[in-house]
């Protein structure tokens, strides 16, 4: 194959490959010091409770009869509000958020969470931590 044709083909393939990449969200690497900003409305029922159910309300962890707060579906909101785990006046100091980011000891859950999930919890608290 001719060098010019090969070079032209390589250039076209490169352009198609580079312009074909699309990302709708950038998640910085854990520990990068960067933060994810959530701009949509975050609801307890649709956004936060599923996070707790999947990652926290497990046997031996934050389920009924386990470690406080009880983050199981029927108890999570009451446990968070009555146990003073939330601070809507200073959301970043909320105990639940501090545990998620590892400022109160070992990051919860121990396996870690995606920074986007931590940002969702923080956004929910900033938006008033409503039981919606």
Domain ranges of the chain: 30-126
Q: How far is CA 61 from CA 25, 48, 67, 114, 126, in A?
A: 31, 17, 6, 19, 26
- 62: pLDDT strictly greater than 70: yes
Least confident residue range of 55-59, 77-81, 125-129:
55-59
To the question of pTM greater than 0.75 for the whole model, the response is no
Least confident residue range of 34-38, 92-96, 98-102, 106-110:
34-38
Six token digits for residue 98: 């501090």
State the Cα–Cα distance between residues 95 and 93, nearest whole angstrom: 6
pLDDT at 40: 94
Cβ(55)–Cβ(113) below 8 Å: yes
Mean pLDDT (whole number) for 85-108: 93
Residue 23, CA atoms < 13 Å, CB-side half-sphere:
5
Contacts of 99 (CB under 8 A, 6+ apart): 105, 107, 108
State the Cα–Cα distance between residues 131 and 4, nearest whole angstrom: 64
Q: Write b or e for each residue in 56-77: b if 16 or more Cβ atoms lie within 10 A of its Cβ, otherwise e.
A: bbeeeebbeebeebbbbeebbb
């Amino acid at each position: 194959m001719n060098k010019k044709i090969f070079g032209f083909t390589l250039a076209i393939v490169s352009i198609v490959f580079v312009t074909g990449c699309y990302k709708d969200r950038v998640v910085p690497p854990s520990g990068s010091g960067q933060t994810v900003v959530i701009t949509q409305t975050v609801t307890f029922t649709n956004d936060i409770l599923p996070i707790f159910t999947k990652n926290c309300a497990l046997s031996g962890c934050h389920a009924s009869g386990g470690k406080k707060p009880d983050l199981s579906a029927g108890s999570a909101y009451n446990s968070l509000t009555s146990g003073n785990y939330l601070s809507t006046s200073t959301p970043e100091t909320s105990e639940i958020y501090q545990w998620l980011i590892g400022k109160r000891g070992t990051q919860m859950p121990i396996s870690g969470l995606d920074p986007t999930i931590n940002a969702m919890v923080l956004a929910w608290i900033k938006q008033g931590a409503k039981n919606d």
